[in-house]
Amino acid sequence: MTLICKPRFNDFMKVTTDSYTHEFNFLSDHEVFFDRQKFYGPDYRLTDVYGGFWSFIFSDIPENAVTISLGENCITVEGKVGLLVPPHAVITWSVQCGNFNWFCYSNKHSYPESFPKNMTIYPLNDIPETVSPQWIHELVQKSHNAKTLSSSSVNPYAKKLKQLLDGEFKLNRALAEYASEIGISKEWLIRYFKKSYGVSPIEYRNKKRMFEAMFLLHVEKDKIINLSHNMGFNDLKHFNQLFKKTIAASPSKFLCK
């Protein structure tokens, strides 16, 4: 399947690594459309942490190949589907071995009030050639067979910490401070958070920083060292290492030319 997107912003970028090929169309200063082709090894499992963007991910997925989960709740995703992902979402993907092609539209503008608050899966009649906020809005309004990934198993202390981190993920506040503010020990807070979201609070904060940095590296006229400081890192080497570990590519591959 080939998908062609004609960007208004006239800005295209392709990133190739050992495990995936990622083609970006920067549609504007707040919108990006990408096509990702990736090979997944046996029993692949990864927790994705999304930034302040909201996204619509879509693909044609083989039967019993992909499961998404949040805490103890999970949904099998298969067939032609679209996944509406609110800002600051956390999703754990379990993927069987094989090559998959994902398409995604991401928008940094405010998430529409009429959209669902949790990640929601919509069956599609066909894979669209392009999407827009208007197209997604019509899908949300007309769909009667959507499935929502419930957040009912998320611990309330973990949820409170996530809300705090979402608002100040660029800061380097100690977890002990958050624990004191929330009213629980640091050890139990970390345990509840990891059980609820699949990653530790520090991993969550760092993954969120990397997601934001990946977009900003291309659209902002700034140096990597300045961006690393803005994301809360005092050590450029640590930022580069963490970026490559999270994104599987160096920051320079995403830098605006």
Residue 10 token pair: 């006239």
Phi then psi dihedrals of residue 211, to 5 deg: -65, -45
Domain pair 12-148 / 156-254, same fold: no
Which of 229, 92, 69, 219 is closest to 149 using CA atoms?
A: 69
First-to-last alpha carbon distance for the chain, in angstroms, is: 29
Domain spanning 156-254, CATH architecture: Orthogonal Bundle (1.10)
Residue by residue, pLDDT tens for the chain (257 residues) are 333 333 444 577 788 877 788 888 888 888 889 898 988 888 899 999 988 889 999 999 999 999 999 999 999 999 999 999 999 999 999 998 788 899 999 999 999 999 999 999 999 999 988 889 999 999 999 998 999 999 999 999 999 999 999 999 999 999 999 999 999 999 999 999 999 999 999 999 999 999 888 878 876 667 899 989 999 999 999 999 999 888 878 888 777 55
Report the C-alpha gap between 148 and 119 in whole angstroms: 6
Report the C-alpha gap between 69 and 44 in whole angstroms: 13
Hey, how many other C-beta atoms are within 10 angstroms of the C-beta on 170?
Answer: 14
CATH of 12-148, one of 1.10.10.10, 3.40.50.150, 3.40.640.10, 2.60.120.10: 2.60.120.10
Element (H, E) at 104: strand 98-107
Q: Which residues lie below 8 Å from residue 180, measured CB to CB, with a gap of 6+?
A: none
Q: What is the pLDDT of residue 117?
A: 93
Buried b (16+ CB within 10 A) or exposed e, 84-115: bbbbbbbbbbbbeeeebbbbbbbbbeebeeeb
Tell me the domain boundaries of the chain. 12-148, 156-254
Residue type, 242: L
Decide: 91 and 68 in contact? Cβ < 8 Å.
Answer: yes
CA distances from 255 to 21, 206, 215 (A): 16, 19, 9
Phi then psi dihedrals of residue 9, to 5 deg: -80, -10
Q: What is the pLDDT of residue 7?
A: 40
